[in-house]
Amino acid sequence: MKVFLTRQVPEEGLVLLRKEVDLEIWPGRTPPPRDVLLEYAKQVDGMFTMLTDRVDAEMIAEAKNLKVISNYAVGFDNVAVDAATKHGVVVTNTPGVLTETTADLAFSLLMATARRIVEGDYLVRRGDWVSWEPDLLLGQDIYGAKLGILGLGGIGQAMARRAAGFSMEISYWNRTRRPDLEESLGLRYAEIDEIMQESDYISLHLPLNDGTKNMVSKERIAMMKKSAILINTARGGLVDNDALYLALKERRIAGAGLDVFPKEPISSDNPFVQLGNVVLAPHIGSASVQTRTRMVRMVVDDLLAVLRGEKPERLVNPEVWEVRKSIRS
């Protein structure tokens, strides 16, 4: 069996895969070009992909030997799942594994932005710290502040648990209300506009789809307090980034902590780079040694299961199993 891995991942998790398949790894730091990805898709039995790899319907249709696409991420919007199902190709992902790690980063961005830590680091490094000053880098309090969470999946819940340790007043919006969690996590349900208007901090934990694209719109950004801070570790497309930039530049809101962007990576001339009241991270929500290694093991386990003819544990398109049976028969 042949497997193509589109980027180097922690080697510790690849030991079993190397033993059972002919593994080829793309050597670059950036994703393989589409023509390269297409050529490999035609040749291999399995693909070990990243969110940055666009596996579209045309590519899947031409991949006659392809049996499984194992995505090294919780999300799978980079894969044409319907097309994969139609052609009997199994799609897997890594749900749950990065919940706590991503919540750690979200709360880190909240704290770093609120207390202006990155600005302080830069000030010290360039030699501009001349004395203790009563108005130097005044930030925002976190303890006892109001946090609004948009999206109460696993990461949103983990964010709420961290906020509870700071005695924050936590409001949330979710597509489906979760009264079962309201008492246990100390949450109050509110509509999106109320959260935008009343929160000191707003943290996004939603998937990106037609219903959530630009959910944090120009109009909703205008509702935010002047002292408010927006945190996004979910997807860049949830936010009208042009409106966010103007609000930050004109100091109509206090700051933002961003790990994700509509188009990644952002360039050095991106307007956000020029703003001191934004903390920028290069999409590192799951980037801990422990989490990334667990993710590799999950991908490998599911990929090998499919190649052995077994049903994988983490199946994005469960209906494909019936399709595969009909294809084989």
- Would you call 283 a catalytic residue per the annotation? yes
The pLDDT of residue 329 is 55
* Amino acid residing at 223: M
For strand 68-71 and strand 278-280, is the pairing parallel, antiparallel, or unpaired?
Answer: unpaired
Determine the Cα–Cα distance for residues 329 and 327; give it in Å rounded to an integer: 6
Return the structure tokens found at 188: 């109050």
Which helix (H) or strand (E) segment holds residue 198: the answer is helix 192-198
CATH of 2-97+289-328, one of 3.30.40.10, 3.40.50.720, 3.30.565.10, 3.40.50.11540: 3.40.50.720
Q: Select which of 7, 87, 162, 235 is catalytic.
A: 235
- Would you call 264 a catalytic residue per the annotation? yes
Nearest-CA neighbor of 47 among 6, 12, 76, 81?
A: 6
Asked whether the whole model's pTM tops 0.85, one would answer yes
Q: Where in the chain is the domain with CATH 3.40.50.720?
A: 2-97+289-328, 99-280
- Would you call 182 a catalytic residue per the annotation? no
* Contact between residue 163 and residue 107 where contact means Cβ atoms under 8 Å apart: yes
Q: Select which of 11, 58, 191, 264 is catalytic.
A: 264
Nearest-CA neighbor of 295 among 158, 153, 95?
A: 95
The CATH classification number of 99-280 equals 3.40.50.720
Cβ neighbours, 10 Å, residue 29: 7
pLDDT, block means (10 residues), the chain with 329 residues: 96 92 95 96 97 96 97 93 97 95 98 98 97 96 98 97 98 97 96 98 95 98 98 97 98 98 95 97 95 95 96 96 75
Determine the Cα–Cα distance for residues 82 and 73; give it in Å rounded to an integer: 18
Q: Select which of 87, 116, 220, 283 is catalytic.
A: 283
